[in-house]
Every structure is written in C-alpha cells, then in structure tokens.
Amino acid sequence: MRIIALEEAFWTDTLRTPGAYRDEWARAELERLMRPDMLAHVGARISDFAEYRIPDMDEHGVDVQVLSLTSPGVQGQPDVGVAIDDARRANDFLAEVIAAHPTRFAGLAALPLQDPAAAVEELRRSVEELGLSGALVNGPTLGHYLDERRFDPVWAELERLGTPLYLHPHLAPADDQWKVLDGHPELAAAMYRWASDTGAHAMRMVFGGVFDRFPGARVILGHMGEYLPFQLARFDSMAQKTRLPRELAKLPSEYVQQHLMVTTSGVCSAAAVIGAVHAIGIDNIMFAIDYPYEQTGPAVEFLQQLPFAPADRAKIAHGNAQRVLGLGRLGSPPSQQ
C-alpha cells in the first residue's frame, strides 16, 4: 500500500522571518512546550531531508511526504516586503528540494497574506511554475482571518487553480487571553488551544460566507479536523436557533462535508477516524504524520491497522491525497507509475 503523508514540516535558514529554533521568542516557547530530548530530535530534523528524513520514510514505508513551511511560517512577519520575499525564498527552496527528490516529496506553498495581491501572485507562481500542490497557511496573519473580504482574491485564485488550502495552527503569541487556561500552560498550545483556535478559524469561513462566494474552494485541516467533525450535529442545531449575522444557504455540516477535508496528523485513534468517516465521509480523510513533531512508526502502524476495507484504507493512505493535490501516481512503485 502506497503511503502519502500530508502535514510534514520543514524550515530553511534562507528566510529573514523569525522562525522556529531561531528567534528568541520561538526558542523560549519551544523550550517551554517540548521536553529537551524532543526539542533536540526536532531541531536536528526540521531542516534535513536526506540524512534523517528519507531513511525514516524508507524504514516505515512512507512513499511521499508533502512538505510545508513549519509554523509560524511567514504569517507573523510585520514587514510586508520581508514577508513577500520570504515566501518566495521558502517556495523556491521547497521546489529545489522536490526537484532533488522528485519521487519522494511534494509541497505546499507559503503565502504572504500580509499583501493579498502578492499572495495571489505567489500562489500562481508556486503552482504553475514551481509545481507545488497547493498552499499552507499557519493561522491568522497579523490578526487577520481568512473569512475577511480582503482575502477574496486569494480564494478566487485557489478556486481557479483547483488547489486546496491547508490551514495549520500557528506558533505565535495568542491574539487574546483565555483565563480558563491560566496556570495551565500545557493546554495553551498543541495539547488543546491550537486545535480550538484553528477549528474556530475554519468555522469563520463557513459563517463568513467563503464557501458561498467560492463554491470550488477546499480547505484541509490537520489533527482529525481540529474537533470539527465531532460537533456537526451541535453546529446544525444551534444554527437553526441562533440569530446569525449572516444567514447560511446550507446547514453548517453541509459546508464542512463539502468543503473541508481532514488529516490524521498527531491523532492515531481508530475511534476518531471512524467518527470522522461517519461525519464527513471516507473521501475527505487523508493520512499525515506531522513529522518531525510526531513519530513515523506509530503513525504508519496505526494506518495499517485501521478497521476498514483495503480500498477504503488505500483512500486514506494515498488515494484522496493524489486526487485532491493532483499528485497523479507519485509515490507508486516504478512499474505502476
């Protein structure tokens, strides 16, 4: 069974944007979040492709990693010119890595959403000239969310290109303070809050009319959908009882089922996958590891043991990714390509 992993992180020191392991705030935050051995593990692998990454893929049977610039990406860069330049540098670097290993890697573009027009240009260049398979955005951009009308040109270009947007949590100072998390910093990041923030960002797209304006738009969420597949009945019930600032053309669950896909990154739970399949359908579930933040071996073992028919397991392992990202049969054995 071929395996394509969708949420696999990298960083490059060619950027001027503060990033993981480099600037003082990010380093302190990562030291707070990660045990020292895990921090060393990730630090050695986040900018590597040949020494650790490909051998790890080979050991565990991963055919393709879809690479994306790790959080915070370019989303927290306050200088618009630097953000534009860094997105271009990151995407050029990513294209070079893919060209060096064309059967092992694909990629999602970084977008300088600080300037939506520049983001449209970079998205077009990344897909049409560099051969990247879509885009990944690390949370809000300087406090701006993707349902805002300023980003409509970006959605229009994503729709025109037929490529998805992966919405990923962001390693950045919180935009607001949750008092309920006071005294529990372990809950303020990947343990809980990142998923809640990212799921809320996606629901802003639903209630903000993004998918009514752009019916061809597709969004991918990691971590089994950042809680959303398991709340669809609640969304539908409350949407029919609540005074909405903007009336919806469909039930919230219908938007989620028709426009959102999820990956398994960091959630090796058969119960969660079964629930998501019932909620949004087998064609909307894709495999991901979240390398190097998560371990490849347990993720692959989990995939192989999912209690589905082989054809459905293959959809999660590679078929849905090939279809949505336009990967063809990338990652197939040579005799099948």
- Cα–Cα dist 26/323, whole Å: 35
Q: In what order do the strands lie in the sheet with 165-168?
A: 135-138, 165-168, 219-221, 260-263, 285-286
Burial state string for 198-224 with b = 16 or more CB within 10 A and e = fewer than 16: bbebbbbbbbbbbbeebeebbbbbbbb
- Cα–Cα dist 276/195, whole Å: 15
Two tokens, residue 104:
């092992």
Q: Is the dihedral of CA 53, 54, 55, 59 positive or negative?
A: positive
Question: At 168, which helix (H) or strand (E)?
Answer: strand 165-168
Active-site option among 175, 182, 290, 312: 290
Our answer to whether residue 290 is catalytic in this structure is yes
Q: β-pairing, 105-107 with 135-138?
A: unpaired
Alpha helices by DSSP H, the chain: 24-33, 36-45, 53-60, 80-100, 116-128, 152-161, 193-207, 210-213, 223-226, 232-239, 252-259, 270-280, 296-304, 310-314, 320-325
Question: At 66, which helix (H) or strand (E)?
Answer: strand 64-69
HSE at residue 235, side-chain half, CA atoms within 13 A, is 23
**Which of 131, 123, 128 has its CA nearest to residue 154?**
123
Q: Which residues are part of the catalytic machinery? A: 290
